A and B are shown apart, each in its own frame.
Chain A
Amino acid sequence: MSEHELDARNLLCPLPVIRTQDAVKKLQPGDRLHVHCTDPGALHDIPTWCRINGHGVGDIVQQGREIVITVQVVAGED
């Protein structure tokens, strides 16, 4: 179990989702990925991506323009 950071700031959707998806592929079940983004669309899209692909969504923290979404990796991607 380990913690990882992903910088997806200044990217517009769907790029933050694509970067999240590609990062999660390299992680193990139980790992957590903190995705930093600025496109408010990510507030919607990253949790949706997690739900449909079977991953968990942890804290969502918004500080000014920056949003940090925590993805809990559940299944190994196939």
Chain B
Amino acid sequence: MAEQRKAVALISGGLDSMLAAKAMLEQGIRVEGINFFTGFCVEGHTHAIRRQDAAKPKRNNALWVAEQLGIKLHIVDVIEEYKDVVLNPKHGYGANLNPCLDCKIFMVHKALEWIDAHGFDFIITGEVVGQRPMSQRKDTMPVVARESGAEDRLVRPLCAQNLPATLPEREGWIDRERMYGFSGRSRKPQMALAKQYGFTEWAQPAGGCCFLTDEQYAHKLADFWQGRGERRYELDDIMLLKVGRHLRPRPHFKMIIGREEGENNFLEGYRKQFVHLRALSLEGPLALIDGHVDDSDLELAARLVCRFGKGRDAERVQVVITDLHGETRVMDVAPLSADDVPQAWYL
């Protein structure tokens, strides 16, 4: 009997990678999944944080897909290495701060390292020619294959019939005729194939698989770099951009204000790293201050934080301010009115 060939499939949690992996399982390939955690992935985070969302299922879509397919899944932490992709994308950004082409190249390259280390034969992705404006164009498909180093060991079962034959096809491990020729932005062929495979449920990430495609998030990230005076980030920084209201009342500081109890709890975990404040006399959110502040800034911040708590209509509110050494002081301030908070402060 012929040796069973092994492939690793990039599993994002969306429908396309699920179908691509399934198409190879159908051809008798042993498939395992790989999923990369960049720190920007759209996963349960914000749901896990916000209490009002607590009732919604908080599953990890990549794990869910792997279970539906009956394959193993390896989740790889690439947070550190991925920074260079975000900060210095050779091929530039998409509509927001999404370096999709460099990201694809990076992920396929990591998958290549993985298959070499684990004795697997090839790599599967759910890419479709023309599906996305930046990373999945006819002219960028070969770029991913070439610059990742995967070359003809990269198989895209959903559009393989539109692309040159790959090594697994030439070797007869897989049959080109039993792959697909999808192209363009239409999702109909995927829906039909899902139906054929009996999949009735899948995750539908809007726009892309990560927060970098989100306009508001990208705006906050750009602001964060500008505020810090350098393009750099740690995991905590990019996590905090997903939580709370972000306002920049002055160029040299911004505030992160919890919107509800779950976010306040999450921000609590960071309070030792930031000057933070919270209304004392009337209930209100926790706010972290990012930047260097003097007394007049603190007064402004205190007046602003009251605006988002029960004291918004009170004449005076007492606010406790805790500095980086854990020393506290109380300020008695007049809450800002809605008109005092320009829209431009909101990030």
- A-side residues, CB < 8 A to B, are 10, 12-15, 17-18, 21, 39-41, 44-45, 48-49, 51-54, 78
Contacts and interface: CB of A to CB of B under 8 A. Distances in A.
Nearest to B45: A12
Given A48-B67, A78-B118, 6 more contacts: A44-B57, A44-B58, A45-B58, A45-B60, A48-B59, A49-B73
A18 B48 contact: no
Contacts, number: 72
B60 A53 contact: no
Contacts of A18: 37, 75-77
Contacts of B60: 13-14, 17, 41, 44-45, 48
A10 B64 CA distance: 23
B172 interface: no
Interface of B: 35, 37, 41, 43-45, 47-49, 54, 57-60, 62-64, 66-67, 70-77, 118, 239, 269
A15 B63 contact: no
Nearest to B37: A14
A45 B77 contact: no
A48 B64 CA distance: 7
A40 B75 contact: no
Given A40-B48, A52-B67, A15 B77 contact: yes
B234 to A, nearest CB: 14
Given A17-B60, A39-B48, A40-B54, A52 B77 contact: no
Contact of A14 (B43, B49, B66, B72): B43
Contacts of A44: 57-60
Given A15-B37, A45-B63, A52 B71 contact: yes
B42 to A, nearest CB: 12
B48 A41 contact: yes
